[in-house]
Structure 1
């Protein structure tokens, strides 16, 4: 067999394995979701209920129900000072954070931005199921003008989560950071999407630095032994349930105002 055929076969095998893993994660999430009645049982978002439909989070649903999805970010969000009682979610997907933040009682108001029509439909369904529709304000794409939808008094006591699949580099600049300088901001980074990733990261950090103290979060370990719901699963299945399906180790920035 020639080199090209061998290489093509290896690529096909790798893609096939990736597809199979993703299908298994979705299957496990669906199964566990039904067993747990689509309800988060652990963590600060406990008692949040998902509708049966989803747009983005199908493979991650099991980890969400166990309260271990993006656990580092979740714990860091919940650690912010009490005065921050407004949550702003840019790239809200199915509303896990937008609605969970309200369920936690730590936040009183939630502003949710989601570019997908289907995503906004699911967010509204989940808000209705959880009876928080009056506290949630839903918008479409988060552009550089997104702050016009939010009262200044709310921006000054807001936690902002940004997860917009690489668009963070075009959205965030010195002017936008200046408008958000009293907020605490979490940014999920997708720098590896770009050939000029180092340049993009350097600009993002230099634009943020005058206004914020910058720290980093990364995915760490998970203790799955504490969940009786997982006792009957195999080791491989338990870790697939905990997996977030990342293509590399995820990094988030946390930006805390230098002046409040």
Structure 2
């Protein structure tokens, strides 16, 4: 009969073997643990964001983007914190949020729950994603403030009134298609808007050159700031204080293939204009 100690030795031996011979399986197991932790946090908080600028946002049980493993980070206000940090810096004159690649509506609806923005335009290419956004908008009581649209075409901005464009924050996260969608015409159309683009230069041919062209196209109308994925401070989150380090930091993971980069474009025209 094996003793508990012998059982643990066997588990450690198996773990060592898997780590050495099949590291890809260990990554899958880590992702499964991350999903389990996220589901536990979601259950504890009733699927409601508990920290950060989107506090109070209800996340629907149904998901379109990913398998829900990001939910823990969203609830804790950690997910894409680099973007969340921008929310507190947005000038008050911006009242419309435009989300290209809206997925489940985390940003499109999160920007509305605390009345930071009046209206959201959510562009989502998949029908399933649009259905989830619509359901989550009803869940959060903001359906009358969300305009849901399909794929954003090259000159999507022509469908938006000039006064809407001028008071907008535009977020672009379309998995490499940003280089085909955004050009000098886009920046000119949004010359008074703030634009944030998640960069996927490694996913496309000649990515670095296309990233450089994006900045050249913006030069006449916008100042550009590069933002890289940074550190997370977990010390102020009460529900993580008694959690083991490995699990706590795993909740910070976004399962990225590499360190992410965003480009923030601030309008030159508005540099010397006082906030309303």
TM-score, normalised relative to structure 1: 0.92
How many residues of Structure 1 are paired with residues of Structure 2 in the alignment? 252
Given candidates 42, 54, 57, the residue that maps to 1:45 is 54
Question: 1:66: how far off?
Answer: 0.8
Match of 2:15 in 1: none
SS at match of 1:15: helix
Matched, 1:102 2:104: no
Instruction: State the distance in 1 between where 2:133 and 2:88 align.
Output: 21
Q: 1:159 aligns with which of 161, 165, 169?
A: 169
2:181 to 171, 183, 205: 171
Q: Could you tell me how far apart the structure 2 residues matched to 1:35 and 1:156 are?
A: 41
- Residue of structure 2 aligned with 1:33, choices 42, 65, 74: 42
- The superposition leaves residues 40-60 of structure 1 with CA deviations (integer Å, 9 ceiling, x where unpaired) of 111111111111111115111
Query: Would you say the 8 A contact 2:97–2:168 is kept in 1?
Result: yes
Please say which of residues 223-232 and 98-107 is displaced more in the overlay. 223-232
Deviation at 1:10, TM superposition (A): 9.3
Where does structure 1 lack aligned partners over 5 or more consecutive residues? 1-8
| Superposition pairs of residues 64-213 of structure 1, within 5 angstroms | 64-213=74-223
Q: Does the 8 Å contact 1:77/1:159 carry over to 2? A: no
SS of alignment partner, residue 159 of structure 1 = strand
SS of the residue 2:91 aligns to? coil
What's the counterpart of residue 17 of structure 1? Answer: 26
- Partners of 1:111 and 1:84 in 2: how far apart? 13
Q: In structure 2, how many angstroms separate the alpha carbons of the residues matched to 1:149 and 1:25?
A: 40
The one-character-per-residue Cα deviations of 1:71-102 (angstroms, maximum 9, x if unpaired) are: 12111133111001110000011111100000
**Distance (whole Å) between structure 1 residues aligned to residue 167 and residue 112 of structure 2:** 15
- Residue 100 to residue 216, structure 1, CA distance change in 2 (3 Å): same
Inter-partner Cα distance in structure 1 for 2:75 and 2:235: 15
The 3-state SS of whatever aligns with 1:259 is helix
What secondary structure, in the 3-state scheme, does the structure 2 residue paired with 1:89 have?
A: strand
Aligned partners of 1:127, 1:78: CA distance in 2, in Å?
23
Helix, strand or coil at the partner of 1:22: helix
Give SS of 2:170's match. Answer: strand
8 Å CA contact retained: 1:90, 1:114: yes
Structure 1 pair 35–144 and aligned structure 2 pair: CA distance change class (3 A) = same
Alignment partner, residue 226 of structure 1: 236
Using the size of structure 2 for normalisation, the TM-score is 0.87
**TM-fit CA distance, 1:218:** 1.3
- The answer for the alignment partner of 1:5 in structure 2 is none
Structure 2: gaps (5+ residues) = 1-17, 271-276
Answering whether residue 71 of structure 2 is matched by residue 61 of structure 1, we say yes
For 2:159 and 2:22, the matched residues in 1 are separated by 47
**Secondary structure of 2:258's partner?**
coil
Per mean C-alpha deviation after superposition, the further-off stretch among 66-75 and 126-135 is 66-75
